[in-house]
Structures are given as structure tokens and as C-alpha cells.
Amino acid sequence: MTTRSLAAAGGDMKGVRRFAPLRKDGDIGVAEVAEVEGIRTLKGIIFDMDGTLWFGQMRNALGIDKSIDILDHIYSLPVSDQEAAHEKIRTIEREAMLTQVPQPGLQTLFTYLATLTPPLPLAILTRNHPPPVHHLLTTHLPQTPFSPIITREFRPPKPHPAGILHIAKEWNVNPADTIMVGDSIDDMKAGFAAGAATVLLGNSVNGQLWEHECTDLVVRRLDELVGILEKGFVGRVER
């Protein structure tokens, strides 16, 4: 597991992404942090919502290999065939929507984020269609003010950094002051290319990404982010 705090970083972390603790009870006090070069202030977190199991179903429905990007495949089809391919994906998403369950630690993380003053901007950047996204949010996080919410209609999609850059512009912040949280190579590449810090939600199928050059930190549960944010985020990737 790749998780580190400012207190554990010492003086050998030059060049990696670091954020000041969001709480004064972290391992390093606010005054100490101010004296350390390269410490940024976190200005927002961007969350992915794509599901690994859903994408397996999607690839089977379209008859494509796992090495082929789903959206690239759809947009490479003749225009007359694209809508049918999109409808196959929408059907899978509608079915999956009915059985969605929150990731472990989701409620704990967002309960914590809701206590921050001033509020920390939160956004969604997903390759899913809008209906399953809004269903999950209204079912599990009805009080969380995500803005903006960027779905599949946004072009170009991840792994292009355009979505993250768009969100940062909406927030009027530097992308380097944000974190991208996701579970895929697209999330890590998009975040890294945009200049954001990256957090991988590790699972049984993305182990090859844990030490990837675009992955700053790895967590197995979303609520592990609470301790990381409180103590001060320290990434792994030299920038």
C-alpha cells in the first residue's frame, strides 16, 4: 500500500506532490508546514465513477478486446453504427444502476469532507452516461454538492486531461492543487497529464497500476483518504 504523510516524508521527498494537512491535528502542525518548500494547498478533489466490472460487460457486448478503448472503438465506427453501440452501453449501465452499492468507506469519506470549512470543491469526471451517475449520487450521496459533473458526452474523454483542466478552470484553481481519484489507468494518466495529484482506488484487477509512473498513492478503501488528507498528502511520483 502506497500511503505517506508529510511527517513521514522527511527531507527526501523533493519533487513529489505534497499538500498541507486539512486538519491541525495532523502529524505536522500548520506552522511547520509553512516552513517546508513545495507544500501546496489542496483546492479540490475530482472523483471517477467508472466500474471495472461494468467495463468488462461493455467489452463483451461490443465484441472488443480489453486492449481497445471502448469510446475510441465506438467513435471509430461508421456514424450509422455509433448509436447502436452507445445503446448497448446504456443498457448495461441501466441494469448495473439497479444493483449499485457504494464503495467501502464512501460514506465515511464524504461525511468528513462535509465538515471542512471552507467547503472543499468536489467534482465527478466519468466515462459513464448521466443516468447511472445521477442515480448513484441521489441514492448514496444526496447531500454532496458535486460541481461540475462531467459524463461521457464530454469530449475528449479520459485519458485526455481535458476534463480535469475544464474542472480546474470552472473552480478557478491550478490543476496542480487538485487530486484525481479513480480506479483505472485512464484516471491516472488523465490526472498526471493535467498536473493533478493522483490516487488509485486499488482492487484485485488493477495491481499493475499500484507502482505506475502516473500513480501518486494507492488506497484500498475510500475512507483511507481521511487520514491522508488530515496528515498531509505526500505523493510518490517525481514531477
Q: Which residues are designated catalytic?
A: 48, 50
Cell numbers placing 140: 448514496
Collect all residues with Cβ–Cβ distance below 8 Å to 225 and sequence separation of at least 6: 109, 181, 199, 219
Question: Which three-class secondary structure state does DSSP give residue 31?
Answer: helix
Q: Name the packing angle between helices 52-62 and 79-97 (round to 10°).
A: 140
Q: Is the dihedral of CA 161, 166, 167, 173 positive or negative?
A: positive
The 3-state DSSP class for residue 74 equals: helix
For CA atoms 150, 171, 18, 227, the dihedral sign is negative
Angle at 13 between CA 210 and CA 185, to 5 degrees: 25
